[in-house]
């Protein structure tokens, strides 16, 4: 049971480089989310997609873009990486807006920007 | 604005004893959901328990129960009969309504690190 799969698991970038974090879910969920987790803090929402074809900003969207490629996949792009974006990134999915079911999380991507 | 507060950065408990992790929340919306997640040292986020704002009974899932006091806006997690494997970070989260009318976003507290001692 794969659930939510994130790639890569680890990545080191130089300031100014770009990269895309990939996320795929096999639970037929409608909604998908990207969070970041910084030391000593809870997760903060970057972007979310309530359903295929829609995306919306979360709490900390600056410096990121997202693409909901299809129902299964939701990618997060850093166009010009900055040291402040060093963090652990989590992708999550849930059945739909309004569902009492929990969000299911991937294992995270540890991203370091030098 | 919605907010989640976990006032205990760290907690210790003896194996086989019960422990309560505190969570208070702030929202002006009458409809919301409260979640607890566990994050072990390996880093994954594991869903533990859910409480809806209109649920009449406190939620329970095995050794986990949620002490929901709506008037006090608190949703404390109670772990009974602690085990060594319960050592982890625990996050309280609230699902807030989105502007589109759905319930999309989770707001997380800063977490409580629980250490279970043998």
How confident is the model over A24-49, as pLDDT tens digits? Answer: 999 999 989 999 999 878 899 999 99
Indicate if the pLDDT at residue B99 is higher than 90.
Answer: no
Q: Token pair for residue A14?
A: 């130089």
Cβ neighbours of B37 in A, within 8 Å: 105
Contact flag B103-A104 (C-beta cutoff 8 Å): no
Q: Token pair for residue B54?
A: 């209109």
- Could you tell me which residues come within 8 angstroms of residue A100 by beta carbon, excluding any fewer than 6 positions away? B33, B50, B52
Average pLDDT across chain A, whole number: 92
Can you give the pLDDT at residue A102?
84
- For residues B76 and A58, the model is more confident at B76
Indicate if the pLDDT at residue A2 is higher than 90.
Answer: no
Indicate if the pLDDT at residue B11 is higher than 80.
Answer: yes
Size of interface A-B (CB pairs under 8 A): 64
Does B45 lie at the interface with A, CB-CB under 8 angstroms? yes
**Chain A closest-CA separation from residue B52 CA (Å):** 7
Does A89 lie at the interface with B, CB-CB under 8 angstroms? no
Percent residues over pLDDT 70 in chain A: 96
User: Which whole-number Å values give the CA distances from B10 to A100, B86, B117, in the listed order?
Assistant: 29, 13, 13
Can you give the pLDDT at residue A1?
64
Contact flag B106-A33 (C-beta cutoff 8 Å): yes
A56: helix, coil or strand?
strand
Indicate if the pLDDT at residue B101 is higher than 60.
Answer: no
Can you give the pLDDT at residue B31?
83
Mean pLDDT of A14-23: 97
Does A25 lie at the interface with B, CB-CB under 8 angstroms? no
Average pLDDT across chain B, whole number: 91
DSSP codes joined into one string, A80-99: S--GGG-EEEEEEEES-TT-
Indicate if the pLDDT at residue B80 is higher than 70.
Answer: yes
Cβ neighbours of A104 in B, within 8 Å: 47
pLDDT band at A21 (very low <50, low <70, confident <90, very high): very high
B13-70 pLDDT, tens digit each = 999 999 999 999 998 888 888 999 999 999 999 999 999 998 989 999 999 999 999 9
- Could you tell me which residues come within 8 angstroms of residue A52 by beta carbon, excluding any fewer than 6 positions away? A30, A68, A70, A71
Indicate if the pLDDT at residue A96 is higher than 60.
Answer: yes
């Amino acid at each position: 049971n794969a659930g939510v799969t994130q790639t890569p698991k680890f990545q080191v970038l130089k300031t100014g480089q770009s990269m895309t974090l990939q996320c795929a879910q096999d639970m037929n969920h409608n909604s998908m989310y990207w969070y970041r987790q910084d030391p000593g803090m809870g997760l903060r929402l970057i972007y979310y997609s309530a359903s295929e074809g829609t995306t919306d900003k979360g709490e900390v969207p600056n410096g990121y873009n997202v693409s909901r490629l299809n129902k299964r996949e939701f990618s997060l792009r850093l166009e010009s990486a900055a040291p402040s974006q060093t963090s652990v990134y989590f992708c999550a999915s849930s059945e739909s807006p309004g569902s009492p079911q929990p969000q299911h999380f991937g294992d995270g991507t540890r991203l370091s920007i030098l | 604005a919605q907010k989640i507060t976990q006032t205990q950065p760290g907690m210790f408990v003896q194996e086989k004893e019960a422990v309560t992790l505190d969570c208070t929340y702030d929202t002006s919306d009458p409809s919301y959901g409260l979640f607890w997640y566990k994050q072990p040292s390996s880093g994954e986020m594991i869903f533990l328990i859910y409480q809806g704002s209109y649920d009449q009974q406190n939620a329970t899932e095995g050794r986990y129960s949620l002490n929901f006091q709506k008037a006090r806006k608190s949703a404390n997690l109670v772990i009974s009969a602690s085990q060594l494997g319960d050592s982890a970070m625990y996050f309280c989260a609230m699902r807030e309504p989105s502007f589109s009318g759905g319930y999309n976003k989770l707001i997380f507290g800063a977490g409580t690190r629980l250490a279970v001692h043998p």
